[in-house]
């Protein structure tokens, strides 16, 4: 959610009873600090920051988050083990994203507070397992709360995640189309127009597979894969592409990272409305199922 989950959206989500998370991606530390300050101006509610561990700025960002005493740090695309003591000493809860049971167990042994088990339906960097298969396996393997992510965008998805043993859900793609989300309008349009098979995973041969909405750039990545191009060519083609899409609105040659549920997102709505829809939707389904079971 780098360049997508910025201060306005984060504050709106936290104000509406969720936990807004700033996506820091590969952004420079000064940008992250400004975002943190802006959220603090907009809300007194707790919020978090996601640190993408492949970023060259990851360590510096962790240090500034310790100074800023944010409530929660989530991590993606790696193992945050070496930062745990630093973050815990500052009273910050650490919730890594995992895409396998092995990493989940390792991180729980090193003392993380909870986990986000993310299936490969999600947008951006993905693992191999689906949410349906991953979440119950992680739930069975660890004794910390598990939050489900990947392929969840409405009450049905949330209810299903709770049935799998999750304590909560993390959603990204639907919030691209939140009113408060500052991405370029063309990105919101592309998500709203997406159909079921419009996302694709590129970059598998590099070891960093990424789910994106199909466009010219995705086709160029597939061409590199077809001719087994060296890693440097992927890297060169990928530099700066997320910002190019999300901020500049280049939906042809930018990287429009979005999950498979893009096809289910049909309108731009305030974050509060999205959260209410998901939570009341889940409550209604669960109540209905309980009635059926009791009958
Ligand atoms: O991290 C994400 N989503 C992302 S990161 C990103 S930017 C990017 N830039 C260059 C290459 C790749 C991505 C765009 N979207 N989601 C959380 C997530 N983390 N999904 C899967 C993982 C993950 C995968 C492997 C976490 C840890 C891991 O293994 C680490 C280890 O040490 O075993």
Q: Decide: 118 in ligand 1 pocket, CB within 6 A.
A: yes
Judged against a pLDDT cut of 70, whether residue 295 lies above it is answered with: no
Testing ligand 1's pocket by substitution, the residue of 112, 125, 241 carrying the most ligand atoms inside 8 A of its CB is 125
Ligand 1 atom closest to residue 99's alpha carbon, by position in its atom list: 21
Query: What phi and psi, each to the nearest 5 degrees, are found at residue 6?
Result: -110, 180
| Residue of 288 and 41 predicted with greater confidence | 41
Q: Decide: 99 in ligand 1 pocket, CB within 6 A.
A: yes
User: H or E segment at 197?
Assistant: none
Express as a percent the part of the chain with pLDDT over 70: 99
pLDDT digits (tens, 9 = 90+) for 129-181: 999 999 999 999 999 999 999 999 999 999 999 999 999 999 999 999 999 99
To the question of domain 7-182 being in CATH 3.30.230.10, the answer is: no
Residues in CB range of 256: below 8 A, 6 or more apart: 187, 190, 191, 212, 213, 215, 245, 246
| β-bridge partners, 50 | 23, 74
- Residue 290's pLDDT band (boundaries 50, 70, 90)? confident
Range of lowest pLDDT (66-70, 89-93, 205-209, 251-255): 205-209
pTM of the model: 0.96
Task: Look at residue 127 in the predicted model and tell me its pLDDT.
Answer: 96
Judged against a pLDDT cut of 90, whether residue 58 lies above it is answered with: yes
Domain ranges of the chain: 7-182
pLDDT averaged over every residue in the chain: 97
* Tokens linked to 185: 């309008």
């Amino acid at each position: 959610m780098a360049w997508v989950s910025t201060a306005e959206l984060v504050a709106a989500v936290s104000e509406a009873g969720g936990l807004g998370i700033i996506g820091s991606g590969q952004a420079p530390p000064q940008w992250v600090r400004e975002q943190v300050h802006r959220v603090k101006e907009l809300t007194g509610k707790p919020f978090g920051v996601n640190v993408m561990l492949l970023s060259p700025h990851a360590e510096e960002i962790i240090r500034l988050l310790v100074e800023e005493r944010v409530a929660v740090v989530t991590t993606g695309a790696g193992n945050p083990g070496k930062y745990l003591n630093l973050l815990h000493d500052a009273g910050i809860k650490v919730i890594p994203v995992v895409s396998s049971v092995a990493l989940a167990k390792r991180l729980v042994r090193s003392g993380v507070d909870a986990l986000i088990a993310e299936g490969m339906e999600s947008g951006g960097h993905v693992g191999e397992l689906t949410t349906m298969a991953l979440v119950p396996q992680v739930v069975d393997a660890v004794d910390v709360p598990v939050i489900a992510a990947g392929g969840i965008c409405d009450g049905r998805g949330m209810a299903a995640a709770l049935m799998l043993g999750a304590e909560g859900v993390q959603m990204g793609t639907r919030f691209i189309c939140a009113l408060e989300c500052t991405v370029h309008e063309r990105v919101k349009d592309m998500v709203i127009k997406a159909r079921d098979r419009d996302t694709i995973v590129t970059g598998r041969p590099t070891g960093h597979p990424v789910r994106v909405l199909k466009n010219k750039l995705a086709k160029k990545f597939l061409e590199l894969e077809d001719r087994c191009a060296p890693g440097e060519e992927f890297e060169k083609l990928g530099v700066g592409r997320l910002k190019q899409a999300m901020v500049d609105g280049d939906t042809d040659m930018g990287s429009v990272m979005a999950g498979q549920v893009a096809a289910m997102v049909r309108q731009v709505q305030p974050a509060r409305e999205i959260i209410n829809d998901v939570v009341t939707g889940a409550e209604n389904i669960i109540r209905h199922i309980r009635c059926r079971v009791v009958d």
